[in-house]
Amino acid sequence: MEVFVQQLINGLTLGSIYGLIAIGYTMVFGIIGMVNFAHGDVFMLSAFIALIFFMLISAWLGAGLIVLSLFFVLILAMFFTSLWNWTIERVAYRPLRGSFRLAPLISAIGMSIFLMNFVQVVQGPRNKPTPPMLNKSILLIDSATYPVSISYKQIIIIVSTVVLLAAFWFIVQKTSLGRAQRACEQDRKMASLLGIDVDRTISITFVMGAALAAVAGVMYLVLYGVVSFHDGFVPGVKAFTAAVLGGIGSLPGAVLGGLLIGLIEVMWSAYFTIDYKDVAAFCILAVVLVFMPSGILGRPEVEKV
Amino acid sequence: MAIDATTPAKRQADMMAALKEAAFAGLITLGLCIPIISWGTRQNIENQLVLDPRWDTVAWAVAIVFVGRFLMALRKQTRDPNKPAVRLLPHGTIGFFQRHSGLFSLFGLGFLIVFPIIAITLAGWGGALKWIDNFGVQILIYVMLGWGLNIVVGLAGLLDLGYVAFYAVGAYSYALLAKNFGLSFWILLPLSGILAAFWGMLLGFPVLRLRGDYLAIVTLAFGEIIRLVLVNWTDFSNGYAGISGIPRPTFFGIPFTAADNGFAAVFGLEFTPLYRTIFLYYVILSLALLTAFVSLRLRRLPVGRAWEALREDEIACRSLGINTTNTKLTAFSLGAMFGGFAGSFFAARQGFISPESFVFMESAIILAIVVLGGMGSLWGCAIAAIAMIGGTELLRELDFLKQVFGNDFDPTKYRMLIFGFAMVVIMIWKPRGLISTREPSAFLKEKKAISADMVQEGHG
């Protein structure tokens, strides 16, 4: 029981990171029907941006105000990562809109290779550890055999994920921007006829996706305390799995899928073997796509001839 | 301002617009550079992370983007909008090549056959090894993989991002069977092809209902699963450490060693390691040609036509009574078979394999070769493989750049960076690949070239 509760906490923490990345995948897929392959690498890039800003700001503010400096880091990382994703969309995807189906996918794969090697070239191939931070934790169940605790890091991750998701949910559901986005998702041509600037809406979608990926990047850095240039691929694929599992195109689905993938991965490592945790995630992806292609909360795709 | 005549004022305004555009681009570049380039992270002696400011690099990047964007904007203002932006080849060059493709194929084939001799004459016995091995064999492996994947992606229209799994199956089949059972290369080559084809069917079967991007992601997942199993199942594959000491191929039983029964001694030649490389070169050349020949002939068979029909419209295919399951499975397993051949050749050539050789990046490179070449076009694949693999290999040769940028400059570091960038640029420049039209495989009375825009996947 104690083991289960502890793993539940760990799984939810990891799952919220996956969920945040998955939203970027699901929104882009919803609006332009393309798997944004470079999204995982945008996440990795954001973790690097966060690392550099964290070092600058914590040197400036001192080690005492770590939560405040994390807050600044979060805002700066969100801004600069959004700028990157905006540029990527502008340079690599927009010229290919309306081209044949594979062209944007290949361009995205190229962008993914580019980003990964760009970070490797400018920041070096080694793992980058952060100074230790927020190491305290709260004891939840005081058991002699297996004490269950939740660390400050995990609290920060879960709380900020929930807050940001709520804010984001508000934007998509209640503002005119979100309405334009949902309209483009349903029918791009009709939306443009009704006076919606489709290009701008797509750009904003990429910006929002990147901002959430940046949150995930900061959280990843806080949780693991280390980042390297090839850390984008596997979380990226898992987040995509999460988006598919929840039903691609559905925002609550992406978060639900992320939490499920995080839980499955952590439980698998705890109860079976840690070696095959990635295999488990990939198997789920294959099984879900084969047997339940519309996911948990997605709408089934109707094929018209 | 108002005193000047109209023409200078207009030019002035244009200049201002261009400057504005360039300034905007420069500002964006500055924003992109700010954390990630302007501070480099580095571990100091106490293993703590420290930051090195690098504002000079940022200044260079911003300046380059500013000037480049400014010139581009000026050029755009003066250019006739009806003329295409970039034209590297004079009009009709590709059409000319296509009309005489038979002749050029013969010429290319002749060049490939005499390539080792040319390399030896130009670079001498010592220097030729590098050219034949790094350029000849390496590029031909990718050409063959590209042609194999072309059957799946180019002809049948099934997007496969896990092709490297079959390459791995072929390589591990050869390595394990040759090491544990002592079977020879010539028995294991077809055997590993068959095993890979079997795996192709096994993995193909559950995913046939999927289409497009979903299929791509599931094949990616399968490719990663096979690699992760190879990493973790150490009893079987020795994990990350890989398998070393794989038996090298022999010249129909005669080994390429310096011993008395070696190739050189038997034929009364002086021993050099070059013989094995030349032999391997001809093996991979014939394997690649076999792949090309088979896919060319298959296109004329009913199954090949069914593939192309399937690529264009699956629903129409099904309603005309084509068994889509069998058609897709044959494409998947045939493509996998050629991947398996290439894999067993790779294992035999390297003598050492590890899961590191079969990462997703390899699949992406092979797919990039197929798509950048123009899907379905064998010539396009070959040209893309030469450009992408040969081009990045050439970076190893650019030692003179060290004199320009200082001794720390290592061009090979930028290999994959340039590769990814080139993928994006080629896609934007020619979204349908370098060779985007080709001859129709079935026609009434006369051949007509079909524009790429008329069909689903990039050629007619």
Please list every residue in chain A whose beta carbon sits closer than 8 Å to the beta carbon of residue B48. Answer: 131
Please list every residue in chain A whose beta carbon sits closer than 8 Å to the beta carbon of residue B35. Answer: 48-49, 52-53, 76, 80
Give the ipTM of the model, two decimals please.
0.86
Phi, psi of B52 (to 5 degrees): -110, 120
Do B22 and B114 sit in the same domain of this protein?
no
CB contact under 8 A, B31 and A80: yes
Do B24 and B112 sit in the same domain of this protein?
no
User: What number is the average pLDDT over the span B214-243?
Assistant: 87
User: What number is the average pLDDT over the span B106-119?
Assistant: 84
B370: left (phi over 0), alpha (psi -120 to 50) or beta: alpha
Q: Got the DSSP string for B128-169?
A: HHHIIIIIIIHHHHHHHHHHHHHIIIIIS----S-THHHHHH
* In a domain? residue B342: yes
User: Which A residues, 56 through 75, put their C-beta within 8 Å of a C-beta on chain B?
Assistant: 56
Q: Got the DSSP string for A103-150?
A: HHHHHHHHHHHHHHHHHHHHH-SS-EEPPP----EEEEE--SSS-EEE
Please list every residue in chain A whose beta carbon sits closer than 8 Å to the beta carbon of residue B51. Answer: 52, 55-56
User: Residue B402: CA atoms inside 13 Å, Cβ hemisphere, count?
Assistant: 11
| Local structure of B268: helix, strand or coil | coil
Helix (H) or strand (E) holding B204: helix B185-207
Count structural domains, chain B.
2
Confidence of residue B458 (pLDDT cuts 50, 70, 90): very low
Do residues A25 and A285 make contact, with C-beta atoms less than 8 angstroms apart? Answer: no
Confidence of residue B80 (pLDDT cuts 50, 70, 90): low
* pTM, entire model: 0.87
The confidence score (pLDDT) of residue B460 equals 37
Helix (H) or strand (E) holding B41: strand B39-43
| Local structure of B43: helix, strand or coil | strand
User: What CATH number belongs to A2-291?
Assistant: 1.10.3470
Option in B207, B232, B364 nearest A276 (CB): B232
The pLDDT of residue B349 is above 50? yes
Distance in Å, alpha carbon of A114 to nearest chain B alpha carbon: 5
Please list every residue in chain B whose beta carbon sits closer than 8 Å to the beta carbon of residue A53. Answer: 35
Do B51 and B104 sit in the same domain of this protein?
no
Domain residue extents for chain A:
2-291
Do B297 and B234 sit in the same domain of this protein?
yes
Give the least confident one: A33-37, A215-219, B91-95, B202-206.
B91-95
Residue with the bigger pLDDT between B95 and B138: it is: B138
Do B110 and B244 sit in the same domain of this protein?
yes
Do B69 and B101 sit in the same domain of this protein?
no
Interface test with A, best of B39, B41, B150 (most A CBs within 10 A): B41
Please list every residue in chain A whose beta carbon sits closer than 8 Å to the beta carbon of residue B318. Answer: none
Q: Report the distance separating Cα B3 and Cα A287, nearest Å.
A: 75
* In a domain? residue B343: yes
Q: Report the distance separating Cα B375 and Cα B381, nearest Å.
A: 8
Distance in Å, alpha carbon of A217 to nearest chain B alpha carbon: 14
Last residue of a domain, one of B21, B40, B75: B75
The confidence score (pLDDT) of residue B6 equals 46
Last residue of a domain, one of B14, B45, B75: B75
The confidence score (pLDDT) of residue A77 equals 93
Query: Given CB atoms, is A28 within the 8 Å cutoff of chain B?
Result: no
The pLDDT of residue B9 is above 50? no
User: What number is the average pLDDT over the span B203-215?
Assistant: 78
Closest CA to B346 of B161, B141, B195, B163: B141
Domain that holds residue B173: 93-454
* In a domain? residue B460: no
Q: Report the distance separating Cα B356 and Cα B379, nearest Å.
A: 30
Q: Got the DSSP string for A143-194?
A: -SSS-EEEEHHHHHHHHHHHHHHHHHHHHHHHSHHHHHHHHHHH-HHHHHHT
Which segment, A62-66, B166-170, B377-381, is predicted with the most confidence on average? Answer: B166-170
C-alpha distances (whole Å) from A95 to each of A195, A209, B86, B370, B409 are 21, 20, 15, 21, 33
* In a domain? residue B1: no
Query: Per the structure block, which two tokens stand in for B75?
Result: 């050029």
Q: Report the distance separating Cα B22 and Cα B26, nearest Å.
A: 6
Compare all CA atoms of chain A with the CA of B456 and give the residue at the minimum distance: A100
| Local structure of A278: helix, strand or coil | helix
CB contact under 8 A, A115 and B420: yes
**Per-residue pLDDT reduced to its tens digit, B392-431:** 888 777 766 666 666 666 777 788 888 888 889 888 888 8
User: What number is the average pLDDT over the span B5-27?
Assistant: 72
Do B299 and B445 sit in the same domain of this protein?
yes
Cβ neighbours for A276, distance < 8 A, ≥ 6 positions apart: A268, B228, B232
Distance in Å, alpha carbon of A159 to nearest chain B alpha carbon: 27
Do B47 and B98 sit in the same domain of this protein?
no
Confidence of residue B368 (pLDDT cuts 50, 70, 90): confident
Do B265 and B117 sit in the same domain of this protein?
yes
Do B41 and B139 sit in the same domain of this protein?
no
The pLDDT of residue B257 is above 80? no
Helix axes A233-246, A251-271, angle to 10 degrees: 120
Do B240 and B327 sit in the same domain of this protein?
yes
Query: Per the structure block, which two tokens stand in for B35?
Result: 């954390």
* In a domain? residue B80: no
**Per-residue pLDDT reduced to its tens digit, B301-332:** 899 889 988 888 888 888 999 888 889 999 99
Last residue of a domain, one of B75, B104, B126: B75
Handedness of CA B152, B153, B158, B159 (dihedral sign): positive
Q: Report the distance separating Cα A22 and Cα A37, nearest Å.
A: 12
* In a domain? residue B84: no
**For residue B261, what is the domain's CATH number?**
1.10.3470
| Count of pairs with CB atoms under 8 A, one residue in A, one in B | 183
305 residues of chain A, pLDDT tens digit each: 778 888 899 899 999 999 999 998 988 888 888 888 899 999 999 999 999 998 888 888 776 778 888 889 999 999 999 999 999 999 999 988 877 777 888 899 899 999 999 999 888 888 888 877 777 777 777 777 777 888 888 888 888 888 888 888 888 888 988 889 888 888 888 888 998 899 999 999 999 999 999 999 999 998 888 888 888 888 998 898 888 888 887 888 899 999 999 998 898 888 887 778 888 888 888 888 778 877 788 776 665 55
The confidence score (pLDDT) of residue B380 equals 86
Do B40 and B114 sit in the same domain of this protein?
no
Please list every residue in chain A whose beta carbon sits closer than 8 Å to the beta carbon of residue B28. Answer: 83, 87
